[in-house]
Amino acid sequence: MESRAQGLDVGFRMAVQAQADILDGAHRLKYVRDFLVGLENCQTQCAFFDFCRGAQAANRYFENGSLTTTETNYCRVSRQALVTALSTLATTEKEPAA
């Protein structure tokens, strides 16, 4: 008779294998290809890419109707504004008095 632990191990291996199969075929799905195009566009066109990494797929889709777009309102408000404010603060901060 199979123990509960052995059953969990088999289930885990099946889940990992299924996940690997899903990932192996992901490039064939249009929405994955579109997301990768958008990610590449972000990387080549946006000065803030090193900070946000362009990975807000849901915002791209629901704000712009496409995964291939780059900038979203979410990005402007939560990423770009933050980086710009911190950069401005860092460059305008005065030296302490001696």
- Domain presence at residue 7: no
Is 60 exceeded by the pLDDT of residue 22?
Answer: yes
Q: Does residue 18 lie within any of the structural domains?
A: no
Give the phi and the psi of residue 94 in degrees, each rounded to 5. -85, 155
Per the structure, the complete domain to which residue 86 belongs is given by 27-92
| Max CA pair span of the chain | 79
Q: Is residue 19 part of a domain?
A: no
- Token pair for 26: 């992901």
Residue with tokens 């777009």: 69
Do the domain assignments include residue 5? Answer: no
Residue 96: predicted pLDDT = 63
How many other CB atoms are found less than 10 A from the CB of residue 75? 21
Does the structure show a pLDDT above 60 at 29?
yes
14 part of a folded domain:
no
What integer pLDDT is reported at residue 18 of this predicted model? 78
Contacts of residue 39, Cβ cutoff 8 Å, sequence gap at least 6: 54, 55
Q: Please report, rounded to a whole number, the percentage of residues in the chain having pLDDT higher than 70.
A: 77
Domain count along the chain: 1
Pure H helices in 26-56: 30-45, 49-52
pTM above 0.75, yes or no: no
Would you say residue 8 lies in a domain? no
